[in-house]
Amino acid sequence: IPNVQNFSTCLQFYLPFISNELNWRYESGIINHQISLLYNQFNFNKNFHVQISGYTAKLNIENNQFSENYCQNVLPGEKQISENGLVQSYGMEREIILSENYFLRNKNCSYIIQLKGESQSRDLVTLQSFMKKNILQDNEICMNSEKRFQFVNPWECYTMGVFGTQNITIRHNSFENCKSISVSSNPCYELIAGIQSIQIPNFLDAQQNYWASSNITEIRQHIFDFNQWNSFSLINFNNYLTSFH
């Protein structure tokens, strides 16, 4: 099991469009990518970031541990954090499996996971993506040792965000990152959805997850969707778990 520990670590995967046909429009000649991050430990890294961008792919992130990493530092004199999350997938929509990972006590991050689709796959099929049995706990979202940063836009600060043409089904995960933050003075969002679809409104399926509370009002305070901002998606968090084992 590789164990990554470094003072400045960034894993970046840019996926190009590749075809083995002279006429690149010929569908059967297009080569698909696959990236698998399996059974790794990413611990105690400074300025840490994992980024997958570019063309569509099958992306498997399973059985990894991301613990006590510091996301990119805030630049001196800046009043708000630039985009400095932990794990990011953006570009063309992908078939994503996020399963049985631990995201624990990471710091100085504007988000822990961001999935952002900027275009649809060329294939005329619906890509199925799933996030299941992950534990996201005690991560410091948009915080440092002195104070919590203030944001103009609420979607700049969250544990997990799903945007654009990317969609994913979220099941049996544990989100526990907002317990120590006063919601009245500093909103803290575990999940935010801004999915683009021909359906208005559209939905993100996030049923059967644990949100560190059995109180539906408290859970709602940590979810940002169409009910708070009319350009965003509705999140279905029904049948939420009251405990997580």
- What residues does 1 pair with on adjacent strands? none
pLDDT, tens only, 172-207: 999 999 876 655 556 789 999 988 876 666 889 999
Count of domains forming the chain: 1
Residue 208 lies inside a defined structural domain of this protein: yes
Residue 243 lies inside a defined structural domain of this protein: no
Q: What is the dihedral of CA 146, 153, 85, 245, to 10 degrees?
A: 90
Residue 179 lies inside a defined structural domain of this protein: yes
Residue 25 lies inside a defined structural domain of this protein: no
Cα(172)–Cα(208) distance, rounded to whole angstroms?
Answer: 5
Residue 62 lies inside a defined structural domain of this protein: yes
Residue 2 lies inside a defined structural domain of this protein: no
Residue 21 lies inside a defined structural domain of this protein: no
Residue 107 lies inside a defined structural domain of this protein: yes
Instruction: Report pTM.
Output: 0.85
Q: What does R_g of the chain's alpha carbons equal in angstroms?
A: 18
**What count of other Cβ atoms lies within 10 Å of the Cβ of residue 217?**
7
pLDDT of 196: 80
Which structural domain, as residue segments, surrounds residue 40? Answer: 9-14+31-73+81-145+154-236
pLDDT, tens only, 110-165: 999 999 998 877 665 677 899 999 999 999 987 643 444 555 466 678 999 999 98
